[in-house]
């Protein structure tokens, strides 16, 4: 099988990143808060690869690792914050914006060399070296390309991590961002030992009873705009208390909302004990929800973005987001 290689458009960036990595001994990797499969898969896959060539690598995720992702190789080594003060190199992964790394932002940006690896193209790009390509379906695809340039061979552990990120961010190779190149990389990962069955079993078919009860509650409370293009659900602290579910167990609700026939935008809002409503936005082609998220200091990519809306009530938070969508002509 022919091994996919990086496109010429970004080859110079990959080479610059490879040089920086080769010259570093202590490396910190960090992803966005509330990490998903792509954020963790890209970090873990890269960390395993870099450790295989003798690098000291700390993997930072402010919100830790969700239960559904703990099957990934290396997940037990993920730290919430850095145990040391300085690194030779900091790499932000799948963040969308530096500040979305939460308390790990200063750790990464404080490094003498900073690399941004991301498939979210927003105004929040950062770093001395930027491997940012909005035409890629996942950050894991970019990590795959980087490993090709570095000359680090795949092993089953690396392949499993990268496959998880690609599989989850493409909805099982179904979403519009999926390209022929995505399938080619997927085939290479499968040949290297990645097991898609394990991803499906752990991520998509491993929901807790409390998560299912919360999903049911969210769907019962679903609302829809008069024009029909927008569907939403607002999950309050009382909903979490009534079901016993955690915020980390809301995965799957956005997908269920997005699946409503005729809906173009799905909004999921979750009230936070610290204040405000953490908001996930999903949409179909032709609408860029990253611009909506940016209005509230969030980020992401065109079809899937997130932010926190400052509001005292769910109705107030929802109205703010609906007003921004209305300005864009979505009702």
- What angle do helix axes 180-191 and 139-150 make, rounded to 10 degrees? 60
| Residue 60 · residue 29 · CB < 8 Å | yes
Picking from 153, 327, 131, 322, the residue whose alpha carbon sits closest to that of residue 225 is: 322
> Is 228's pLDDT higher than 90?
yes
pLDDT (0 to 100) of residue 298: 86
Picking from 295, 212, 302, the residue whose alpha carbon sits closest to that of residue 256 is: 212
Measured over the CA atoms of residue 133, residue 139, residue 144 and residue 146, the dihedral's sign is positive
Report the Cα 155 to chain-centroid distance in Å: 23
**Across all residues in the chain, what is the average pLDDT?**
94
Half-sphere exposure of 323 (CA within 13 A, CB side): 9
pTM value is 0.88
> Is 89's pLDDT higher than 60?
yes
| Residue 304 · residue 292 · CB < 8 Å | no
> Is 128's pLDDT higher than 70?
yes
**What's 162's DSSP letter?**
H
pLDDT (0 to 100) of residue 10: 86
> Is 8's pLDDT higher than 70?
no
What domains are defined for the chain? 8-203 (3.90.1640.10), 210-327 (3.10.310.30)
> Is 197's pLDDT higher than 60?
yes
Return the structure tokens found at 45.
């896959």
pLDDT (0 to 100) of residue 299: 79
| Residue 31 · residue 63 · CB < 8 Å | no
pLDDT (0 to 100) of residue 3: 64
pLDDT (0 to 100) of residue 304: 86
> Is 1's pLDDT higher than 60?
no
| Angle (CA) 81 282 253, round 5° | 75
Q: Write out pLDDT tens, residues 249-281.
A: 998 899 899 999 999 999 999 999 999 999 999
pLDDT (0 to 100) of residue 164: 98
Sheet with strand 26-31: strands edge to edge = 78-79, 56-60, 26-31, 89-93, 113-118, 129-132
Provide the pLDDT confidence category of residue 7 given band limits of 50, 70 and 90. Answer: low
Residue 301 CA to residue 289 CA, distance in Å, equals 7
pLDDT (0 to 100) of residue 285: 76
**Mean pLDDT confidence for 54-68:** 96
Residue matched to tokens 């000291």: 56
């Amino acid at each position: 099988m022919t091994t996919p290689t990086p496109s010429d458009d970004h080859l110079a960036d990959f080479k610059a990143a490879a040089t920086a990595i080769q010259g570093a001994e202590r490396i910190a990797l960090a992803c966005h808060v509330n990490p998903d499969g792509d954020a963790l898969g890209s970090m873990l896959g890269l960390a395993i690869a870099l450790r295989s060539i003798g690098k000291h690598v700390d993997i930072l995720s402010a919100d830790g690792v969700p239960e559904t992702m703990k099957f990934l190789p290396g997940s037990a080594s993920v730290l919430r914050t850095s145990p040391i003060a300085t690194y030779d190199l900091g790499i932000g992964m799948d963040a969308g914006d530096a500040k979305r790394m939460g308390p790990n932002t200063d750790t990464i940006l404080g490094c003498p060399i900073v690399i941004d690896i991301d498939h979210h193209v927003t105004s929040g790009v950062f770093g001395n070296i930027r491997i940012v390509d909005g035409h890629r379906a996942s950050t894991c695809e970019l990590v795959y390309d980087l490993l090709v340039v570095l000359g680090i061979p795949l092993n089953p552990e690396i392949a499993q991590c990268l496959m998880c990120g690609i599989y989850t961010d493409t909805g099982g190779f179904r979403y519009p961002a999926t390209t022929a190149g995505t399938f080619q990389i997927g085939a290479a990962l499968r040949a290297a030992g990645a097991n898609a069955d394990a991803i499906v079993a752990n991520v998509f078919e491993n929901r807790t009873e409390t998560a299912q009860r919360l999903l049911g509650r969210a769907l019962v409370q679903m609302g829809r705009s008069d024009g029909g293009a927008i569907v939403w659900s607002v999950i309050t602290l009382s909903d979490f208390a009534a079901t016993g579910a955690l915020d980390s167990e809301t995965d799957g609700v956005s997908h269920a909302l997005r699946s409503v026939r005729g809906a173009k935008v799905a909004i999921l809002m979750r009230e936070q004990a610290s204040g405000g409503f953490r908001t996930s936005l999903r949409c179909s082609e032709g609408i860029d929800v990253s611009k909506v998220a940016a209005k509230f200091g969030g980020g992401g990519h065109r079809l899937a973005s997130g932010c926190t809306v400052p509001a005292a009530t769910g109705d107030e938070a929802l109205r703010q987001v609906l007003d921004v969508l209305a300005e864009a002509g979505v009702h």
